[in-house]
Amino acid sequence: MRERIYRLSFIAMNCLLLSHCTFGSVGDSNKDKLTILQNLIFFNNNQMVAVGTNLRGYDDQADDNLNQFSLTSNAVSYNITIQSSSYINWEMGTYRINPPSQTLGVSTSSSEKSSNATAKTHTPYTVPLDLPADDLYGKSYAFLSASTVTNITQYNSTMETGASFLYPNTRMSSMPLGVVAVANVSWEEIYIRMDVGGKDVTILLPQGNKSITPKCKIPIKLGRSGNIEILISLSSLFQDRTVSGSPLRFLQQLSLVAGPVVISKVSNVNLYNILLQNLQAEDIVFSFPGCFPGVER
């Protein structure tokens, strides 16, 4: 099947070449070459590939209990158990795709298929191109359906670090050839009920969103062998961090509050603000996997 696709691509490219060669004067040769190049770019940009996504919850404690983990805050250890009633009410998840090379960014809209179309450059995989919404590289491609997912720390899959939870509301995305520039996820609500050292804690995080940027090229190509992986580390939401030289210690601050504890935008706001900062921090809660030689991401 793959060889057939490549053969059809080769035939189509030759047809484009033959149909646009004028064999005119030398003075027209550069114009002819530009027209041929633009048609080849247009053909390349119109190839679509169906790719799946694994949205995966995990922890780094190498056991089968995703709902139980221990964290240290200011040299004190805390045992945490996430209750099965915890859930995330997802709104959507989308990708932006950049062309496979720095000069393949010609719009596919009908208004820009003429010889006046110009190539656009970009930073390879980190900055989405500023293109019209009808351009293949200006669109967003959905990979996550709106859904409330409960029991978000159940064990239903495995990964390099051990047990993991695959979110069930992902879907195949038909996307143009290129590389992933960014993934965007949004939610209506995140609800977490947990026990921290015997203290009952309820966390209510309202509507929000997060942009996730790759640290290496994630190719969208013919013959791609696996799904795109996006990781969610719920335990990292509660870990100590240092920001601009100042420590953020959620668990230590939580230990100073008598239980039961409700954390929301109107209750225990200092703890709520720490969680929001952790949630939005780069590669803390949401991330793409790291890069390893010979491993396709």
Could you report the per-residue pLDDT of 240-293, keeping only the tens digit for each? 999 988 999 999 999 999 989 999 999 999 999 999 999 999 999 999 987 654
Per residue in 266-279, pLDDT (tens digit) is 999 999 999 999 99
- Of 8-22, 132-146, 184-198, 205-219, give the range with the top mean pLDDT: 184-198
Same-domain status, 60 and 39: no
Q: Is residue 294 part of a domain?
A: no
Structure letter (DSSP) for residue 184: E
Q: Residue 44 has what pLDDT?
A: 57
Same-domain status, 140 and 196: yes
Same-domain status, 240 and 176: yes
Is residue 128 within 8 A of residue 180, CB to CB? The reply is: no
Q: pLDDT category, 38, cuts 50, 70, 90? A: low
Same-domain status, 251 and 138: yes
Measured CA to CA, the distance from residue 121 to residue 102 in angstroms comes to: 5
Q: Is residue 258 part of a domain?
A: yes
Q: DSSP states of 90-113 as a string?
A: EEEEEEEEE-SSTT-----SGGG-
Q: Is residue 296 part of a domain?
A: no
Q: Is residue 17 part of a domain?
A: yes
Same-domain status, 64 and 99: yes
What is the span of the domain harbouring residue 2?
A: 1-45
Same-domain status, 131 and 260: yes
Pick from 66, 272, 236: nearest CA to 151:
66
* CB-based contacts of 188, cutoff 8 Å, min separation 6: 89, 90, 91, 207
Same-domain status, 13 and 136: no
Q: Residue 8 has what pLDDT?
A: 42
Q: Is residue 135 part of a domain?
A: yes
Q: pLDDT category, 158, cuts 50, 70, 90? A: confident
Evaluated on CA atoms 172, 176, 178, 181, the torsion sign reads: negative
Per residue in 75-98, pLDDT (tens digit) is 999 999 999 999 999 999 999 999
Q: Is residue 144 part of a domain?
A: yes
Number of domains in the chain: 2
Q: Residue 187 has what pLDDT?
A: 98
Assign 181 to helix, strand or coil: strand
Same-domain status, 159 and 283: yes
Same-domain status, 33 and 10: yes
Same-domain status, 3 and 150: no
